[in-house]
Structure 1
Amino acid sequence: MEKLNETILQRQNKLYNIVLCVLMLFISSFTIQAQTVKGTIKTKNGQVLVGASVRIKGTTRGTTTNNEGLFSINATPTEILVVSSVGYKTEEITVGNKTTIELTLEEDLSALEEVVVVGYGTQKKSDLTGAVASVNLETMRNAPNTNIGQYLQGTVPGLNVGLSTSAGGTPPISIRGQVTLNGSQSVLIILDGIQYTGSLSSINPDDIASIDVLKDASSTAVYGAQAANGVILITSRKGKYNQKPRISFSSAYTSQTPTIGNLKPYDRDGFIKQLTEAFYDRAYLAPGYTEPNPNFKVSDVADASMRDGAGNLLPNNYDWFGQGTNRGSIFENNLSISGGAEKVTYLISGSLVNQSGFIVNDKFKRQSIRANIETLPFEWMKVGLVSSGSFVNQDGQEPSFSSLIRISPLLVPYDANGSLIPFPTNTLEPSPFTTYEVDDYDRNKYLFANIYTEIDFPFLQGLKYRMNFGNNYRLSQRFNSSIYGAGQTGSAYKNTQDYYDYTFDNILTYNKAFGEHEVTGTLLYGSVERKFNSVNARAEGFSRLSLSYNNLALGTTKFIESEAWNESLNYQMARLNYKFKNRYLLTATVRRDGFSGFAKNNKYGIFPVAALGWVISEENFMKEVKAVDFLKLRAGYGTIGNQTSRYTSIARVSTGNEYSYVYGDGGTTSFGQQVTSLGNDNLKWERTTGLNLGVDFTLLNSRLNGSLEYYNNKTRDLLFSVAIPNVTGFGNINTNLGQINNTGFEASLTGKILEKGGFKWSSTVNFSANTNKIVSLTGVDANGDGIEDDLISSNLFIGKSIGTIYNYQTNGIYQLTDERLPSFPVGSVRIVDQNGDKDITPLADRIFLGRTEPAYRFSISNSVEYKGFTLSVLINSVQGGKDGYLRNNNPSYFRDDNSIRVNYLQGIDFWSPTNPTGKYPRNISGSRAKIEPNMYQSRSFIRLQDVSLSYNLGNLLKSTKAQSINLYISGKNLHTWTKWEGWDPEVNDNDSDGNPVNGLTTSGRPVLRAITVGLNIIY
């Protein structure tokens, strides 16, 4: 018993000693005095780092450096400071007895370690096997871009972004070349992990944190058939855990003027001059028509609407163009607050944009709000909401811009009582202001939300599940009334459209590293459903419109239309990423897509892709090559799909007046239905099989880095509407046929030109070239010559590009004394008689003149920093090479009853006997030429696209607590070097008849030159 008691006593003493030691350690932790540690964080070049993070390792305590790179923090000698900044290597330093620390951060070659957003996850840039590029948004922040698409011009090789000529408009966007004929050609937009189906004009550019572009099959395969034309991944800004509140405010004002120079309609004197030239056969004496006829008076040939009661020309010189246009402007304000605690992050932002375009009432107003919130209810669980709302106001209608150009300055818009004259020319040509003086309500509401949860399973490290439930909703309301509508009887309508879609994704990811191996597997199961509804009510014939569009019952004739559709997608995806020794990489993906728009026999398609990567710089034999910091080869091969539009695979029924029948005398009209399209149960997915080869490199101690890409894509089973014999009762059927090959090369190089004494100069060059070729179409050899037939009526030719121009070759203008082919008057275009038979026919005299596609594109951006100043310059260019990037530009003149009434653009070089070298035809014969051919011009250009100069006022305003106060001035579309004549070479707009309008036409719209002054404050 005594031994037992002794043993118990010994154990008690040991326990007492342990408790005492722990207690002493606990007490000592409070007795160690925290000290104030101050320091400076710099780069190896001696520049201070603003906003660098300094935190206590293992805690949530931390701070950031100010405008002078200084920090101050309380820490005990045993604690460790962790210092980090984006683009630099993280350093750790034990406090010890130091009260002052000066630390130099080395630049991180992790541009290689940079995390890039990819489909359904992220990857280190060094681990990528596909063609993925990131947009450098910082160089574009100061540009006057109300639409996020405008940020993308010239930023990434292979990403082709055009211009928009309307306020808030979205520019055309494509990635690499055209891989389809009738299939979808839309780039897929993914916003915060969810497909975004709203307008890009609804997204506030200031909310965007990053934009990544997926270009090849390996990178886009995870998004399946919707990504056949590439993917743009947009990630919005969020708060950070353990970050004090960050307040950001920006304000900017932009003034916009057209880049068109003297491309304006004639004033009174010019109009009279061109009307004289239109009647050169009377205004000048025969036979040469160069000597003025003293008996000629313009009033004798002018339209009656332009003459007074005595037959004299009206004295007016009204500037229709000036009255219908004004200086454009953009005024915008952005405010955001972000931050986070240990368990929650937040970002709340709001934005106001008010843009007025060059044309009166071309207006765009956007109010937007965003709330991104994330919380950690448990250590292993994350729940978040990414949400935004945009409210766009585009009330009002423009005056007809083409009419502003066409209408004569001898006429005026208002009568003596101040009332608008609806038809100043006394013809069916209305006044430009009949479309302007209306009551117009045009609103769009865009709502977006992605509710997500992410679970890191505690029982199996590396296993993660994420659920996304994304929603897009759009409500469009367009109400209008016009006293000039319905033949001056008045018209009004109300149109309401609502669109909704949801995306439900379930993503399971497993990541495991063992030894020199690392494996990441991703499984996806998801679905999408889209719904649309439209109701339109309209009325005509109002005795009065005092209630505008709010009482359609007052109209004598009323109409009601409605429309609705829905479609759904279902998909599954599996992806494996494997890495061995940090140098051998594998990505394998298979995706299965189902779409309701396909017929029953081909609802689903399966598309596999694989890619390999080899980080050569990690090999031992490369260690001695000091000039090479990083070198990686990539190769990807696989098949992706493209889907048809809804209803194309099924027979459709239409109804209308043409199917009506009256049964018996005095009977009511019955409206029948008729099958108007032929279904195809075997219509299947278009398939593009592609090879992508890439090289990524960093050289010369990170002074030069870039990537090179080569791709070769073959698209088979093209979705196309093929003509069939009319005996079937139909004109065509949607089917699969043919093959298109698409090849290209891309290069991106970024170099640090100079870094010395606080002066930094870097430059980026992007280059891309693309060609496509039609390999086969219908497979029909009607001539029996062993050669497949072209589809000439569709302008599709075997062995040629999709944009091939097959037309007549022109050779100047027929002069007065020239020998002319039959039915070609003086002043008409001379067409080359290719077979010499003295006649011009479509089969014998058309040849291949070139193509509409460009040969290559390039951009050069420069950034220079010195003592708080930053200068950014972007030059963008599209070049056609030999016979490429051509488009019709033929503002021909034919004298008839209408043409003598209208005005024309100044500077059009029309032919006349007094201007025999004129470039464009003027035909006054009274009979049109047998053929009036297109006249093609090169659209090649070099554009000084963006220039920005900013200065950080932080050094001057040291008393403020702001992290940054940045004042800037920027310019956009400052100058364009081109031989193209007309509105702009890059604009791709067409009129209602599908004719191009970017040349010397009255239907074009000018590109705007912008000058911006702005201020950014971060607190």
Structure 2
Amino acid sequence: MFKYQINCLTCVPLRLAVLTLLWFYSVGSSFAAHSTAIERSVDLNQDFEITGTILDNNGVPLPGATVLEKGTNNGVQSDFDGNFTLEVSSEDAVLVISFVGFDTQEIALNGQSTIEVTLEENAAALDEVVVVGYGTQERSDLTGAVETADLETFRKSPNTNIAQSLQGTVPGLSVGQVTSSGSTPSLNIRGSSTISGNSNVLIVLDGIQYNGSLESINPNDIESINVLKDVSSTAVYGAQAANGVILITTKSGGYTRGTRVSASSSYAIQEPTEDIRPMRREEYLNHMYDLLYEEAYLAPDYTQPNPNFNLEDYIDPSMLTEDGEIAPFDYDWFDEGTHKGYINENKVSVSGGSEAVRYLFSLGLTDQENFIRNDNFQRKSIRLNLETKARDWWKIGIQSFGSFVNKDGAEPSMDRLLRQSPLIQPYDENGNLVPFPFNTNTENPFVTYDVNDYERHDYFFANLYTEIDFPFLTGLSYRLNFGNNYRINKYYRASEYAAGFTGEAFKNHNNYYDWNLDNILTYKDKFGKHAINATLLYGAIKRQNEYTGSTANGFTRLSLGYNSLEQGTNQFAYSDAWQETLNYQMARVNYKFDDKYIFTGTIRRDGFSGFAQNNKYGYFPSAALAWVLSNESFLQNEKINNLKLRVGYGLSGNQTSRYNSIASLITRPAYIYGDGGSTAFGQEQNTLGNADLRWEKTTGLNLGVDFSLFSSRISGNVEYYINRTNDLLFQVAIPHVTGFNDINTNIGKLENKGFELGLNTHNIEAEDFSWTSTINFSTNKNKILELTGRDSDGDGVEDDLISSNLFIGESLGTIYAYQTKGIYQLNDEIPEGYFPGTLRVVDQNGDGNITPADDRVILGRSEPAYRIGFINNLSYKNWNLNVFINSIQGGKDGYLGYNLNRLVLDDNALRDNYPSGVNFWSPNNPAGDQPLSRNNATIEPGVWKDRSFIRLQDVNLSYSFEPNLIEKLSLSDLTLFISGKNIATWTDWKGWDPETNQELTRNGRPVMKSYSLGLNLTF
């Protein structure tokens, strides 16, 4: 029995010592084994010479093929003409011949001195089975834009959420950064296709739509992730799929006729990628002098100190001693509220089976403490995937997991940690917390930290399925999926500082459940040059949610916290519930002729209870064609291994939230009966219903090329797409005389187009060394084509919705604002309403006045111009190195973010602290780029900066131990690895991080840099 578990922080030094000893032992064993191999090669009687030629299946010579005598290190590579000469130990030796993209062959010489070997092209990449939604297809039969994520490269990265392993690896898939423990990054496929409709990517887990958080899934349980990007691929999910689909498939046991046990353990340390901290005592005091420059320095240039100036006369009394002097403290609030974070992960899985049964059982424990104290995440997970063959034609199985997430603890406020003065302290001389250190309404940051906080999320998932391959009709099968999602959220808190420091406690319970029932009928057959794969689907989904909350405040004591709410003076109860249902039917046919011409057609019908009475159902058809040119006789070229053209066109939908189409009511005080009488509550209509509200519809065209060249040394795909969304879901303003301000309706058109490139290369493939690369490149741009259709001034041009930041012909991320040009200096000619240190606003029309209607312009857009990911994988003997570089670039006027720290002298400005290094303007610092002024300007514009960056995002180095050590330990694999994440970022952005769009603000959160050490073993 094997047991391997290291959970505690105190065990880390022991683990490091053990790993180090194992590594030295392995290196020593490797050196000894290598020496033995050299001695053996010297002793071998290599007097038998063999010559030969290596060809591909078209008779073309293969240069650089590896020829190795089996069981030795004796080998050569073929020359440019595919020829080789090798001395071997005997005439009965066996040669092992390999080449990238071809099947490896073993050739027994049997006395031959000259051989000619034809290697067969390895079609594994083309014949790879890909999950496409309600079934699978061979990659060679795909007609749509379906991409498989590279998970193996990031298996060893310190990623607590599986979505982090997708960042920058799939062209067209945008994955954001995370700034809190265990959280799921933002996900987006091919940009925005809606204004205010649902923008979430559809997640399908083991064939079941999954509405839970990805924080619940153990990344080690994932076998593969496929991304459906174009409309012809996503149409099988109809109204759910306007924003793309991510298909997650978990691992299953194999028919190994035995048991395989795998375990891994890793420990990572974390620190911010940017060391942003508040000002300490000296910088803080100097900053106050700059704020008070008219008093602290002498006119007219305000650079010479005023000898009569005393800061004590202006500083807040909270920062003075009883004698009226500046307090001697230099308290580091930020350091007290943060610490170095860590991630500790331990995972184990047991898998195996036989012809009749296969199984996978896994356990996982992830424990993370982030940079901000009490930003904690712990996940305990358990999975059981089991499948049995009741008959040769009948399978029954379950895919299930339970995940238990602990997020106990409340963080201190980042804004207040950076706001507090170093001249004050959080606790008084008796050790009691000072609620308002400034004697203002600015609370002590530890008011939110020093509480009793309980937050748990329990996830349960099970897909019960059965599959029948009908024995009376070859190729016909039926599958029934019954998926179940159940989620329990519990959030409790008790704080003696809440409710005006009278004490408050609450308990909130939320239960969510959904079931998914799919009936899938599939027929596959081949006859002559024809092949067909047809799927019929009928399914239904029901979702329901219940919420109950109770709150109390005004406690005389809170010793029992949230477990005795009845002790509160004021007690409140809340409850809520909802449910929604969906049903759908789908038919898909994939037809292939002569391995050259492929057609896929899909039609789906969706119904949703949340849509309007007159539009409960929608229809979503699609069609796609593919032409495999490389199988045509006129394109038989040894340099082209595969070339396929694809075109797809289809329609997908987007649904509204469950109540948007119906009128809603609110309860409010309505009438008072008589003088001094009690208030009666009544109901009144709050929103207008719209019985004609309908689905958003996205039509999309996708053009694609798949290629494999030069004996599969270069392969990849190119995609171009253009999507148009009609009937956009939007709240349109209506005349107030109706009694309402707006109504949910369908308006306008939105265009979304882009280009994607995925490129894989085998740069070097030698006996002991290999180097492969992957490049992912994508662009995306959206444009509003139509809005309300109104033309208020009669000029023939449709009105923009400026108040909603929507402009015809521009992107959704358009930045419409004032243009600035530096900061007014002391001796400048400053217009009325502006002051030294305020931003200079550009007068666009030159009329001498700055007005919103005439002087605001389009500065650019928040969306990037392109994204690129570059992965390099290098292997040398037992060593393997993965390096991933991720970059987002804005191009001209793109990927802009708000980046401004404006400061105006007021009462709070003389108390508050700010991030160190903010380059505020002052007479002593005229080159400062952040405005600082004595008064507010008439117009206070924003400033937008380029967020473009290049990031060294992941580096993994692993060492696989020598076979002799592994054998002695009764193992089949033993690998030690070190990895780093977000190691370096090159950018001109000033702030926490460009990707999270957080400038040098007090309420920002850092992106974490991680370094980890881990061990994988299998037996």
TM-score, normalization by structure 2:
0.89
Contact 2:100 2:713 in 1 (8 A): no
Change (3 A) 1:106 1:244: farther
**Aligned runs of 1:724-803 on 2, under 5 Å?**
724-803=734-813
Match of 1:644 in 2: 656
CA contact (8 A) 2:959 2:977 kept: yes
The correspondence of residues 161-240 of structure 1 with structure 2, limited to 5 A, is: 161-240=175-254
Equivalent residues in 2 for 1:875-954, closer than 5 Å: 875-925=885-935, 928-954=936-962
**For residue 433 of structure 2, what is the amino acid of its counterpart?**
L
**Which one of 403, 407, 420 corresponds to residue 407 of structure 1?**
420
The answer on whether the counterparts of 1:705 and 1:749 sit within 8 Å (CA) in structure 2 is yes
Query: Matched residues in 2 for 1:665 and 1:650: separation?
Result: 38
The reply on whether 1:521 has 2:531 as its aligned counterpart is no
- CA deviation after TM superposition for structure 1 residue 664, in Å: 2.3
Given that 2:821 and 2:839 are in contact with CA atoms closer than 8 Å, whether structure 1 keeps it comes out as yes
How far apart are residue 90 of structure 1 and its match?
A: 9.1
TM-superposed CA distance for 1:45, in Å, is: 3.4
Show the counterpart of 2:862.
852
Superposition deviation, residue 297 in structure 1? 2.1
1:72 maps to which residue? none
How far the C-alpha of 1:825 sits from its partner, in A, is 1.9
8 Å contact 1:641–1:687 — kept in the other structure?
yes
CA distance in 1, matches of 2:957, 2:884: 12
- Cα RMSD (Å): 2.1
Aligned-partner SS, 1:974: strand
1:475 aligns with 2:488: yes
Between the aligned partners of 1:374 and 1:48, the Cα distance in structure 2 is 42
Aligned counterparts of 1:89 and 1:319: Cα–Cα separation in 2: 63
Q: What's the secondary structure of 1:757's corresponding residue?
A: coil
Q: 1:866 aligns with which of 876, 889, 905?
A: 876
Q: Which amino acid aligns with 1:629?
A: N
Is 1:465 the counterpart of 2:478? The answer is yes
2:726 corresponds, among 693, 707, 716, to 716
Give the 3-state SS of the residue equivalent to 1:601 in structure 2: coil
**Matched residue, 2:1009:** 1009
* Fraction of identical pairs, as percent: 57
Q: CA deviation at 1:243?
A: 3.3
Q: Specify whether residues 536 and 160 from structure 1 end up closer, same or farther in structure 2 by C-alpha distance, changes over 3 A only.
A: same
Match of 1:819 in 2: 829
Q: 1:85: how far off?
A: 15
Are residue 985 (structure 1) and residue 994 (structure 2) matched? yes
Partner residue, 1:124: 138
Distance (whole Å) between structure 1 residues aligned to residue 70 and residue 791 of structure 2: 70
User: What residue number does 2:87 align with?
Assistant: none
1:184-583 equivalences under 5 Å are 184-261=198-275, 263-583=276-596
Amino acid at match of 2:987: T
Q: Kindly state the Cα deviation for residue 646 of structure 1 after the two structures are TM-superposed.
A: 1.2
Q: Tell me the secondary structure at the aligned position of residue 943 of structure 1.
A: strand
CA distance in 1, matches of 2:703, 2:158: 36
> Of the candidates 978, 981, 986, which is equivalent to residue 969 of structure 1?
978
* Amino acid in the other structure paired with 1:525: Y
Alpha-carbon distance in structure 2 between the residues aligned to 1:222 and 1:48: 51
SS at match of 1:1009: strand
Shift of 1:402: 1.0
Cα shift at 1:91:
8.2
- The separation in 1 between residues aligned to 2:831 and 2:801, in whole angstroms, is 29
Report deviation, 1:93. Answer: 11
For the residues of structure 2 that align with 1:522 and 1:671, how far apart are their CA atoms? 56
Within 5 Å, which residues of 2 pair with 1:94-105? none
Q: CA deviation at 1:86?
A: 13
What residue in structure 2 maps to residue 626 of structure 1? 638
- Going from structure 1 to structure 2, the CA distance change for 1:242 and 1:944 (only over 3 Å counts) comes to closer
- Offset at residue 889 of structure 1 (A): 0.7
Out of 830, 843, 856, the residue aligned to residue 853 of structure 2 is 843
Aligned equivalent of 1:7:
none
CA distance in 2, matches of 1:793, 1:227: 30
Q: Which secondary structure state, in structure 2, belongs to the residue aligned with residue 899 of structure 1?
A: helix
Question: Relative to structure 1, is the Cα distance of residues 660 and 433 closer, same or farther in structure 2, using a 3 angstrom cutoff?
Answer: farther
Give the AA of the match of 2:946.
S
Alignment partners' CA distance in 1, 2:695 and 2:464: 32
What are structure 2's unaligned runs of at least 5 residues?
Answer: 1-63, 72-96, 111-116
Does the C-alpha gap of structure 1 residues 594 and 956 become closer, same or farther in structure 2, counting only changes over 3 Å? same
Q: Counterpart of 2:414 in structure 1: which amino acid?
A: F
Partner deviation per Cα, 1:106-141 (whole Å, 9 max, x = no partner): 662321111111111111111100000001111101
Q: Do the aligned residues in 1 keep the contact of 2:101 with 2:712 (CA within 8 Å)?
A: no
Looking at structure 2, the residues matched to 88 and 832 of structure 1 have their Cα atoms a distance apart, in angstroms, of 64
Q: CA separation in 1, counterparts of 2:380 and 2:67? A: 43
**C-alpha distance in 2 between matches for 1:777 and 1:616:** 43
Equivalent position of 1:960 in the other structure = 969
How far apart, in 2, do the equivalents of 1:783 and 1:147 lie? Answer: 52
Q: Which amino acid aligns with 2:982?
A: N
Q: Say whether the 8 Å CA contact 1:44–1:104 is kept in structure 2.
A: no
One-letter code of the match for 2:940? E
Mean Cα displacement is larger for which, 775-784 or 951-960?
Answer: 951-960
Distance 1:701 1:685 in 2: 47
| Shift, 1:757, TM fit | 2.5
Distance (Å, rounded) in 2 between the aligned partners of 1:182 and 1:496: 29
CA deviations on 1:153-173 (whole Å, 9 max, x unpaired) are 011000000101000011111
Q: Give 3-state SS (helix, strand or coil) of 2:165's partner.
A: helix
Q: Give, in whole Å, the separation in 2 of the partners of 1:572 and 1:185.
A: 23
How far residue 271 of structure 1 moved from its aligned partner, in angstroms, is 0.9
Residues 204 and 248 of structure 2 are in contact (CA less than 8 Å); yes or no, is this contact kept in structure 1? yes
Q: In structure 2, what residue type is equivalent to 1:239? A: G
Listed one character per residue, the Cα deviations across residues 222-263 of structure 1 (whole Å, up to 9, x for unaligned) are: 0111111001111000001243111000000000011113x2
Question: 2:250, 2:399 → 1: CA distance?
Answer: 8
- Alpha-carbon distance between aligned partners in 2 of 1:230 and 1:592, rounded to the nearest angstrom: 18
SS at match of 2:446: helix
Q: Is the 8 A contact 2:101 2:713 kept in 1?
A: no
Aligned equivalents of 2:281, 2:196: Cα separation in 1:
48
- Code of the aligned partner of 1:940: S
Q: Secondary structure at the match of 2:253?
A: coil
**Aligned pair in 2 of structure 1 residues 345, 92: CA closer, same or farther (>3 Å)?**
farther
| Contact 2:839-2:941 at 8 Å conserved across structures | yes
The TM-score normalised by the length of structure 1 is 0.89
Partner of 1:158: 172
Change (3 A) 1:700 1:923: same
Match of 1:141 in 2: 155
Secondary structure at 1:912 match in 2: coil
In structure 2, how many angstroms separate the alpha carbons of the residues matched to 1:661 and 1:429?
39
1:373 and 1:46 mapped to 2: Cα distance? 43
Measured after TM superposition, the shift of residue 189 of structure 1 is 0.5
Q: Which residue of 2 aligns with 1:688?
A: 698
Deviation at 1:89, TM superposition (A): 4.6
Q: 1:438 to 1:48 in 2, by over 3 A?
A: farther
Q: Report if the CA contact (8 A) 1:109-1:702 is conserved.
A: no
Secondary structure of the structure 1 residue equivalent to 2:237? helix
Gaps of 5+ in 1: 1-42, 51-82, 97-102, 989-997
User: What is the CA–CA distance in structure 2 between the aligned matches of 1:901 and 1:252, rounded to whole Å?
Assistant: 44
